[in-house]
A and B are shown apart, each in its own frame.
Chain A
């Protein structure tokens, strides 16, 4: 718990020190006001249902609005359970570092020490990739390897065996390149070390001691709760229920399938805020372990796709005009979740949604919440500046490639364009995207015309250089080295 914020029994608070405003006394969490803002913004952004949990002053406030499923009409309540998508990575990361803390795992020893037959397409990487690199997305492992290995308890073991042909997009340790595949490997590490399925290990090592009673990974367990259904539709309209509850296979679990209520997600954040101690006083993680997860492993050149400034072990690290924070975003089959922690203010906010304009909804609501509760100003939405900067096009024109994706940057009809093609195993994902690039800075461009499935406004395209000097292009936090 942060110590530079104090609250009295009426909920008034005073903040001092580096994070706060000069005059922040006598503020309260205005429940009715935030319920109104939640309702108003949710409706404006066509989000069918949402749950919001806010930790301020050591207390968790719970709000909800709308419906869980536009077909059944079941209403959203604060204890409703949503699919958290990639926020699952924080759960897996927490379990992995807990195993390391217990001496059962060395984060810096090769994955092979735990999984002797671990093999990916690159022989050298197969030998050297470490759990630490997987946790911080610096392993270079290609991120989107969707292999359905069934519903059984052997799904992760089979998935890891299936990774033999998985490409390494960039050399291990050279850059942050977001990798869900790496988290499935971490899930298998948890299984090998504990002798239990990832699902059971998560329940026993984290959910039970942390008091997370509304956090589950399997659909049969989700059925005990009010559960949200994802929705899809055109921007600006009320979306329709997804035809399927979830498209992920079970092997994607450690990367992408944890379901929880908003208060449970904030309880997990509070555990980290409180140095590893759960609400009932149980120490779940050592303070050093908690700190290690928040320590920056590497900077992120693409500061917009998930608002990241850098990456820790699991955590996305933020920099809100000098105020540090951590958290994670998640997306799963029409459900979108956002977790943000402002440690200096003792504030954690979880917003869980089931479709529609979830991202602008999050941005609008968090901007207001952050300003009032933590004196944090979120950066302006990503867009090209009014005055276009001058850029050296010669440095970026060319072809970039990562597993399943070819990106061609070139001039056509007097404008700078990017052709983003899905190839090989990913060729069925989407037709090629042909986008115009507008410069934001010398190395950052705003792509437009990708369509609503990929970005509602501008998609960030970031050119940078890997640690080994190779030029690269990062789209959607996935790094593709230049090949021509």
Chain B
């Protein structure tokens, strides 16, 4: 728990502005604002949990499912998507704490069967690199290995032929595959399924009674259905509850929780690893290590990350540090933000519509009013057009399943993003103009499902000197 905030009063010191009058959380006022913004952004239903003044406030708005009309309540479960990576990372750190796992051990030391398409590179990958998205493992290998308890073992086996985005340790490339491998590491070290280990090592001791991973357990609760639709109108229920397979578990395909339960997990970290009942679940060192910057994030916009720790996205809110994670499944979207300097935690879980813009509007107000924190302006080109020569970036970039081609038409940068090979047909190609934001950052114009406004396109160089293009925080090295 941060110590430079007087409960409900004022904040001093490193947390942000010199003088930030801490306002008490007014539930009625925020409920009204939550309802209003949810409706305006066409989000069918949402829950919000806020830790402010040392107190947890829970709000809900809208419906869980526009077809059944069941109302959203604070005890409703939503799919939290990649926020699950924090659950998995916390489990891994518990194993590190107990001496059963070395952060800098190679994956093959724990999982001899682990391999990648490039055998030499694969052998070098460490646990730490997978936690911080620096392993070079690719992200989007969604592979259904069935409903059985052997799903992760089979997944690791099937991932053997998957190419790395970049060499281990040479750059940041957001990797869900890495988190599935971590999930399998948990299974091998505990002798349990990832689901059981999560329940026994985290949910039970932390009192997360409304955090589950299997659909038969979700049925005990009110639960949200994802929705799809065109921007600007209320979306319709998705055809299926969750198209992601069980083998997408440890990286964020299946975990469902209440907003308050996600908040409790974040509070464990805010409180230095101690559960509300006084049980120490993580050492203070492990908690600190998770928040320590392992690497900068070249793409600071897709999930607002300025850098990565072990699991955590690290934020820089105009000088005020924070950590958290975003999550998305097919039709449900979650957002977790922790401002340690002010002891503030905010969790928003939604079931479709303009979830991202709802998050941006609501969190901008909450962070500002409750923490005196200013979120960066939305991503987009500067008001005054910037002249940047696209020539150095022209060419073809490749990562597993994706081909990116940057061309110039009369000096205007242009980008074609195509799904190929195993991901061919996943979505139509994205064809955008590139508008300069800064010398190496461009805004893709009109990109549909990737971003409601502008898609960040970032050119960077890996530590081995290879130029690469970042889209969605995934690195694609230049091949031609």
Contact = CB atoms under 8 A, between A and B. Distances in A.
B and A form one assembly: yes
Interface of A: 69, 71-72, 74, 77, 79, 150-154, 218-227, 229, 241, 244-246, 250
A106 B83 CA distance: 53
B385 interface: no
A229 B70 contact: no
B183 interface: no
Interface in B234-260: 237, 240-242, 246
5 contacts: A77-B68, A151-B214, A152-B150, A223-B241, A229-B219
A153 B151 CA distance: 11
B147 A223 contact: no
Contacts of A227: 219
Nearest to B73: A72
Contacts of B222: 72, 74
B147 A152 contact: yes
Contacts of A225: 68
B146 A222 contact: no
B191 interface: no
A246 B219 CA distance: 9
Contacts of A246: 216, 219
Contact of B225 (A77, A154, A224): A224
B215 A219 contact: yes
Contacts of B214: 151, 219
A227 B240 CA distance: 15
A227 B70 CA distance: 11
B51 to A, nearest CB: 25
A225 B215 CA distance: 13
Given A222-B215, A244-B217, 14 more contacts: A69-B220, A72-B73, A74-B70, A74-B222, A150-B149, A151-B148, A152-B148, A219-B215, A219-B216, A219-B219, A221-B240, A223-B215, A224-B65, A250-B147
Nearest to A68: B70
B220 A245 contact: yes
Given A223-B241, A226-B68, A151 B219 contact: no
Contacts of B216: 219, 244-246
Interface of B: 65, 67-68, 70, 73, 75, 146-150, 214-223, 225, 237, 240-242, 246
Give the interface SS of chain A, mostly helix, strand, loop or mixed: loop
A223 B223 contact: yes
A450 to B, nearest CB: 29
Contacts of B70: 74, 226
B75 A72 contact: yes
A152 B146 contact: yes
Contacts of A152: 146-150
B220 A150 contact: no
A245 B215 CA distance: 10
A223 B217 CA distance: 11
B237 A224 contact: yes
B363 to A, nearest CB: 28
Nearest to B218: A223
Nearest to A74: B70
A149 to B, nearest CB: 9
Given A74-B70, A224-B237, A245-B216, A151 B149 contact: yes
Contacts of B75: 72
Contacts of B149: 150-152
B457 to A, nearest CB: 36
B426 to A, nearest CB: 21
Contact of B241 (A69, A224, A241): A224
Contacts of A226: 68, 70
A223 B225 contact: yes
Contacts of A69: 220
A262 to B, nearest CB: 16
Given A150-B148, A154-B148, A222 B219 contact: yes
A221 to B, nearest CB: 7
Contacts of A221: 240-241
B204 to A, nearest CB: 14
B133 to A, nearest CB: 29
A153 B147 contact: yes
Contacts of A245: 216-217, 219-220
A376 B75 CA distance: 46
Contacts of A244: 216-217, 220
B218 to A, nearest CB: 6
A151 B241 contact: no
Nearest to A243: B220
Contacts of A153: 146-148
Question: Lowest 3 A-B CB distances belong to which pairs?
Answer: A152-B148, A219-B215, A223-B241
B215 A220 contact: yes
Nearest to A224: B241
Contacts of B146: 152-153
B215 A218 contact: yes
A480 B242 CA distance: 46
A223 B79 CA distance: 12
Contacts of A72: 73, 75, 221-222
Nearest to B217: A245
A71 B75 CA distance: 10
Contacts of B150: 152
A150 to B, nearest CB: 5
Contacts of B220: 69, 71, 229, 241, 244-245
Residue from B67, B73, B237, B241 with most neighbouring chain A CB atoms (10 Å) = B241
Nearest to A248: B216
B180 to A, nearest CB: 18
A268 to B, nearest CB: 22
A198 B240 CA distance: 19
B86 to A, nearest CB: 24
